């Protein structure tokens, strides 16, 4: 850590940012080589929250390993659990009832909204605006309350199980969600007034951290980071799962590739999520919420890969099974890992203050990267 800090042979300054720093992304340690205030090289040092999840899952059963993925990307915990449940169902070849599909997609979109709200508050706080943080958390608490009534937990809910969802939705769920949407739709114009149209914010974000389309594909970026560079990569549109082929929503693309483009893509995605929830909330079909499965699950010999679209990008679960009670090898393809690898390319030549703006719009969650 400290032994690298100092002045190197060509007179450049080498500094440490992190692993403990006021930015709320987690424990990321960056070693930055500076010439004055201009960045010459950024090197991320990872591993400060490496909890050996992939090794641990080799000794957990197929019902048990789902809870661990909640803790990886904790802001899209539903969507991570959804990917694991889909992979196990693909292996066992179970069909889940329609009601469970609708509930899963509704919970996914609420989670996406909550994640983008927290991203918005944290991004504004990183570039210096402290007030939007409290506004974002006020709305996020409303979603947490809805989740808590149905799933039992506010942050790491293990609601998806192989076969469907764990319990039926609470009778208040539909009413509370509709009230929340009515309230939130009056808040989005406020968000635009506070931050999006703010001239200081725009000057800090426009033209900063440009990522071209070819670079985004080569670095493996996905999610809003790549969509702001013009890459079509929304898994919900390309390889639809559950009932995403039946709902109407747009894939938001932007061609600028800078921080402001990534910001606008996420704000518009919030509106698309609201539209998806509105289409589904009144049309949940009656039926079972869980398909009948055996008590002990055993996947047949083979390999299974599932991709879903989390709030950060393309999350993949790759299970190699040898027919036993526990998986032989699990690999979690995390979207943050590839998004982070593009940081050095985006930030070279910019000032150190721009590095903070780029990190804010990349929307990294470090436990997702370190696993």
Residue ranges binding other proteins (CB under 8 A): 1, 19-22, 24, 26-27, 46-56, 58-59, 67-68, 71, 74-75, 90, 118, 133-134, 137-138, 140-141, 144, 154-156, 215, 217-220, 222, 231-233, 238, 302-305, 307, 314, 316, 318, 320, 328-329, 331, 333, 337-338, 340-342, 345, 366-367, 370
Phi/psi for 315 (5° steps) reads -100, 130
Q: Shortest distance, CB of residue 284 to other proteins, whole angstroms?
A: 28
CA–CA separation, 195 vs 276, rounded Å? 25
Closer to other proteins at the Cβ: 144 or 196? Answer: 144
Q: Shortest distance, CB of residue 275 to other proteins, whole angstroms?
A: 26
Q: Shortest distance, CB of residue 220 to other proteins, whole angstroms?
A: 3
Closer to other proteins at the Cβ: 54 or 168? Answer: 54
Closer to other proteins at the Cβ: 126 or 260? Answer: 126
CB-based contact 308:235 (threshold 8 Å): yes
Give the CA-trace dihedral at 89, 92, 97, 99, to 10 degrees.
-20
Q: Shortest distance, CB of residue 222 to other proteins, whole angstroms?
A: 8
**Closest C-alpha to 191, from 136, 143, 262, 258:** 136
Closer to other proteins at the Cβ: 298 or 331? Answer: 331
Q: Shortest distance, CB of residue 99 to other proteins, whole angstroms?
A: 26
Closer to other proteins at the Cβ: 99 or 236? Answer: 236
Is residue 165 packed enough to be buried (19+ CB in 10 Å), middle (13-18) or exposed (0-12)? buried
Q: What is the largest CA-CA distance in the chain?
A: 70
DSSP character string of 27-66: S-EEEEEEETTEEEEEEEE--TT---HHHHHTTS-TTTTH
Which residue is it, tokens 């010459």? Answer: 40
Handedness of CA 172, 177, 180, 181 (dihedral sign): negative
CA–CA separation, 259 vs 266, rounded Å? 11
Phi/psi for 200 (5° steps) reads -70, -45
Q: Shortest distance, CB of residue 138 to other proteins, whole angstroms?
A: 6
Q: Encoding tokens for residue 345?
A: 């390319």
Closer to other proteins at the Cβ: 62 or 260? Answer: 62
Which residue is it, tokens 């943050």? Answer: 336
Q: Shortest distance, CB of residue 247 to other proteins, whole angstroms?
A: 21
Q: Shortest distance, CB of residue 61 to other proteins, whole angstroms?
A: 11
Give the CA-trace dihedral at 333, 22, 48, 154, to 10 degrees.
-60
Q: Encoding tokens for residue 170?
A: 């609470």
Which residue is it, tokens 């449940």? Answer: 85
**Parallel, antiparallel, or unpaired for β 6-7 and 13-17?**
antiparallel
Closer to other proteins at the Cβ: 209 or 260? Answer: 209
Closer to other proteins at the Cβ: 136 or 280? Answer: 136
Closer to other proteins at the Cβ: 289 or 339? Answer: 339
Q: Residue 93: CB partners within 8 Å, gap ≥ 6?
A: none
Q: Shortest distance, CB of residue 311 to other proteins, whole angstroms?
A: 13
Q: Encoding tokens for residue 98?
A: 């329609």
Q: Shortest distance, CB of residue 216 to other proteins, whole angstroms?
A: 10
Closer to other proteins at the Cβ: 74 or 207? Answer: 74
């Amino acid at each position: 850590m400290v032994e690298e800090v100092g002045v190197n042979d060509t007179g450049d300054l080498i500094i440490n940012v992190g692993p403990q720093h006021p930015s709320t992304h987690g424990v990321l340690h960056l070693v930055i080589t500076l010439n004055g205030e201009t960045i010459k090289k950024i090197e991320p040092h990872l591993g400060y929250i490496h909890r050996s999840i992939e090794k641990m899952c080799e000794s957990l059963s197929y019902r048990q390993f789902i809870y661990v993925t909640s803790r990886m990307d904790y802001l899209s915990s539903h969507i991570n659990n959804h990917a694991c449940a889909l992979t196990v169902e693909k292996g066992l070849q179970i069909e889940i009832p329609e009601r469970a599909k609708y509930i899963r997609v509704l919970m996914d979109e609420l989670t996406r909204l909550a994640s983008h709200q927290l991203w918005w508050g944290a991004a504004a706080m990183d570039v210096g605006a402290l007030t939007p943080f409290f506004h974002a958390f006020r709305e996020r608490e409303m979603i947490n309350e809805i989740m808590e009534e149905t799933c039992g937990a506010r942050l790491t809910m293990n609601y998806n199980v192989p076969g469907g969802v764990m319990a039926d939705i609470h009778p208040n769920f539909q009413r509370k969600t509709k009230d929340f949407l009515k309230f939130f739709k009056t808040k989005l114009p406020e968000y635009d007034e506070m931050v999006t149209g703010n001239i200081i914010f725009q000057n800090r974000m426009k033209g900063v951290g440009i990522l071209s389309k070819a670079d985004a594909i080569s670095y493996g970026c996905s999610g809003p980071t790549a969509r702001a560079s013009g890459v079509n990569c929304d898994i919900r549109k390309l390889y639809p799962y559950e009932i995403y082929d039946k709902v109407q929503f747009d894939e938001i693309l932007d061609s600028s590739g800078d921080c402001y483009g990534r910001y606008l893509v996420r704000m518009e995605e919030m509106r698309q999520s609201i539209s998806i929830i509105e289409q589904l909330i009144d049309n949940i079909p009656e039926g079972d919420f869980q398909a009948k499965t055996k008590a002990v699950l055993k996947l047949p010999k083979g390999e299974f890969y599932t991709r879903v679209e989390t709030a950060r990008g393309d999350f993949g679960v790759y299970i190699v099974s040898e027919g036993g009670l526990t998986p032989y090898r699990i690999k979690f393809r995390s979207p943050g890992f590839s998004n982070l690898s593009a940081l050095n390319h985006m930030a070279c030549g910019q000032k150190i203050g721009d590095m903070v703006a780029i990190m804010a719009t990349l929307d990294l969650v470090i436990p997702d990267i370190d696993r």
